[in-house]
Structure 1
Amino acid sequence: MRITLVGPAYPYKGGGARHTTELAHRLAERGHEVVVESWRAQYPSVLYPGRQTIDVPEGELFPDTRDDLAWYRPDGWWRVGRRAGRFSDLTVLAVFSPVQVPPYLGVLAGVGRGGRTVALCHNVLPHEPGPADATLMRALLRRVDGVLAHSPDQAHLARGLVQGTDTRVGTAEMPPHLPETIGPAPTRPDGVLHHLLFFGIVRPYKGVDVLLRAFAQGAPPTVRLTIAGEFWSGSAELRSLAAALGVADRVDFRAGYVPATELSALFAGADAVVLPYRSATATQNVWLAHAHGVPVIATRAGTLPDHVRHGVDGLLCEPDDTADLARALDAFYAEGEALRLRGGVRRVDPDPYWDAYVAALTATAPPTG
């Protein structure tokens, strides 16, 4: 099958670009002829604070990748779609935000009705939706032949938006697509380090405020916490909260994107990664922590409880529940528990996940003829 993937690739950073590129490689390995249509300007800077690109690739690049899409060039949207329509049996749109809907509608106009189209929804609706988001996503999803969501809850949202149409909705768990530059971890001191880590983009749905309150209540006073990642709206509010809770001297804020080359050292200094999400669709951070031999304390949100084996390689608690997270932090530092959970950590095998994912994608809107 000839497939066009429309989505971010290097020099864009983070999991979205890695996912698009890894998906292209996996499809090509299975005999499909694949082209990636990426972006030269994906979002206006006013809508995406911080740097959007990186200087060093975090994995093997896909050779047949173009970067002709720009949010400010509607003529380019149509040209990319026209090229995909002439080449492809299947065009796949990687959807991360309703902001992408106008460009993607332009791409679909160029594709026309010659080939099949799938919206691959990393989020059907944002975790913190705006007033126009459902309207925009409804317009996009009702225009494609198929939608692939990453969890049953997200598939349910998609079915509500396409109700009354012939659009097919499928579900497949997000497969591992970790940075390839992890490398061997630095030498880690023996024993318990008394150090916890939150890693990832800091947004309200991630529950970092809940973590700070739970840390003040449940973590032993010898334990430190590092919050590492890009702060969507700045770190001032969380820094003030840490000060008000009396834990500012035990919390380190490492603001900014953490490149793959620095991940090993970051994880080597942690007893556990804490993921206090209020809501979640899919995240790589459990698998990323486990790839570095680090257990995870997470909420029962989205797919997190599918990846953390409670009492084996981590602990689970209820989302948006300060007391329950404080209990989990206290339990983690019970005598011998941190090292026992560390001994249960195993690195994920990505191949079975990718086998299921590729099968689900190609079945969501199979080509006609």
Structure 2
Amino acid sequence: MTRPLRIGVVCLHTDPFAPPGSGDVGGMNVVVRSTAVAMAAAGHEVTVWTRLASATAPTTETIDGVLLRRLPAGPATTLLKSAHDDLVEPFGRLLREEPPVDLLHSHHWFSGMAALEVARERGVPHVQSFHSVAAPPDQPLTAGEPPESPARLDGETLLARRTDLVVAVSAAEARTVVDRLGAAPEAVRVVHPGVDSEMFHPGEGSARPTLLAAARLEPLKAIDLAIRTLAGVVERDGEPRPRLVVAGGATSDESYPRELAALAADLGVACDVTFLGPQGREQLAALMRSATLVLVPSHSETYGLVALEAAASGVPVVATRAGGLEESVVDDVTGLLLPDWETATWVDAVAGLLADPDLVARLGEGGRAHALRHRWADVAEATVACYRELLG
């Protein structure tokens, strides 16, 4: 019988146990937390290290069998993501003082830069998950998207080439890590995320056709396209006008939500758009159940966990063919994958679905069946298999 492992998980810039949807808290947090909890449930000793970002948060607590340690690197307050470049070194110093583990698994490049040398000094394997990779310097940015720091571009390349193993959440991310960062193909594994199909389950829906967009409010997520789509959908005779519900908070740019509200007003749909702000897991699951369609118009997604959560809720997804969304959405089975970000393309697709309840029902059923094959327990098992491969 194989022995349980002592697993160290490093997530420097964002607390995996914080509520998703606000600041830099998003799908990565769900993946880290859910996988850690599932590994602990399987009998492993799991410690998660993150940064202390609140003066009222405990430095040590156990949540769902996982030991959470918040290290006091930098001020005990929420910081812009860019400010964490300067916290890599002090976080790494504090990590060196923590108890030993069998391996360290870093999530995002900040974490890897802090933990890689600690793993080397201790003689234990280092595993890296990026969850997103910086765009090349010569690639045009999405409108309003800030450029990445040179430190990230160099850091991700170093990590991809020096870590013992990269665990990617999609084949699309794996290709990026190999082609753009120079990782050895044999040192990359793909473990797709899972979904809590008990929390996210089908419901009765809503009497009024409802489009749901759940994402951080930043240009990369293209919530403006969701608003333009709503404005372009013509009200059908005898049917109530569709509405759009937006669940998520701003990141570093507080002006972007105001721009979205102004856009809705300019297009004459302000009364049909509701900005709910960040939502907890239970609240998001309830929103999914009441939605008719979930829109994921992102310009880039490493995987697109919200699409899998929508599928588990029995709600069709309309998404772009962007990165990992081609893996989280099965075209014409769990939803529709669209070829571009043209408003007319999106209006045609959404209007067509709203006019065809039989197709909506078929896609919802296909989504639920697809989601049931993606359990967090299986994700944990596949992740631990990667660890054991390294440990021999």
TM-score band, normalised by shorter chain: 0.7 to 0.9
CA contact (8 A) 1:13 1:53 kept: no
Q: Which residue of 1 aligns with 2:176?
A: 157
Q: Which residue of 2 aligns with 1:25?
A: 37
Shift of the alpha carbon at 1:354?
4.2
CA contact (8 A) 2:52 2:73 kept: yes
Aligned equivalents of 1:27, 1:265: Cα separation in 2: 27
Aligned equivalents of 2:365, 2:234: Cα separation in 1: 21
Aligned equivalents of 2:282, 2:119: Cα separation in 1: 39
Deviates more, 1:126-135 or 1:316-325: 126-135
AA of the residue aligned to 1:115 = V
CA contact (8 A) 2:221 2:297 kept: yes
CA contact (8 A) 1:226 1:251 kept: yes
Q: Which residue of 1 aligns with 2:78?
A: none
Correspondence 1:5 to 2:5: no
Runs of 4+ in structure 1 off by over 6 angstroms are 183-186
Aligned length: 342
Aligned equivalents of 1:279, 1:10: Cα separation in 2: 21
Correspondence 1:279 to 2:300: yes
SS in 2 for 1:278: coil
CA contact (8 A) 1:146 1:167 kept: no
Correspondence 1:250 to 2:272: yes
Spell out, residue by residue over 1:259-318, the C-alpha distance to the aligned partner (whole angstroms, 9 max, x if none): 123234423332111111222111221222233332222222223233333334322212
Change (3 A) 1:9 1:211: closer
CA contact (8 A) 1:219 1:326 kept: no
Shift of the alpha carbon at 1:28?
4.1
Aligned equivalents of 2:268, 2:372: Cα separation in 1: 38
Change (3 A) 1:130 1:259: same
Change (3 A) 1:322 1:140: same
Shift of the alpha carbon at 1:362?
4.5
CA contact (8 A) 1:219 1:329 kept: no
CA contact (8 A) 1:267 1:292 kept: yes
Correspondence 1:112 to 2:120: yes
Change (3 A) 1:22 1:117: same
AA of the residue aligned to 1:39 = R
Shift of the alpha carbon at 1:185?
7.1
Correspondence 1:321 to 2:333: no
AA of the residue aligned to 2:18 = Y
Aligned equivalents of 2:94, 2:380: Cα separation in 1: 31
Equivalent of 2:223, from 208, 227, 233?
208
Equivalent of 2:65, from 56, 62, 66?
62
TM-score norm. by structure 1 comes to: 0.78
CA contact (8 A) 1:5 1:37 kept: yes
Gaps of 5+ in 2: 21-26, 76-86, 136-140
Aligned equivalents of 1:155, 1:31: Cα separation in 2: 29
Change (3 A) 1:69 1:238: same
Q: Which residue of 2 aligns with 1:77?
A: 92
Aligned-pair Cα RMSD in Å:
3.5
Q: Which residue of 2 aligns with 1:136?
A: 155
CA contact (8 A) 1:83 1:111 kept: no
Change (3 A) 1:10 1:105: closer
SS in 2 for 1:220: coil
Aligned equivalents of 2:90, 2:322: Cα separation in 1: 41
Gaps of 5+ in 1: 43-51
Aligned equivalents of 1:53, 1:295: Cα separation in 2: 38
TM-score norm. by structure 2 comes to: 0.74
Deviates more, 1:195-204 or 1:148-157: 148-157
CA contact (8 A) 2:212 2:246 kept: yes
Deviates more, 1:317-326 or 1:32-41: 32-41
CA contact (8 A) 1:81 1:111 kept: no
CA contact (8 A) 1:120 1:147 kept: yes
Change (3 A) 1:67 1:4: same
Percent of aligned pairs with the same amino acid? 27
CA contact (8 A) 1:12 1:53 kept: no
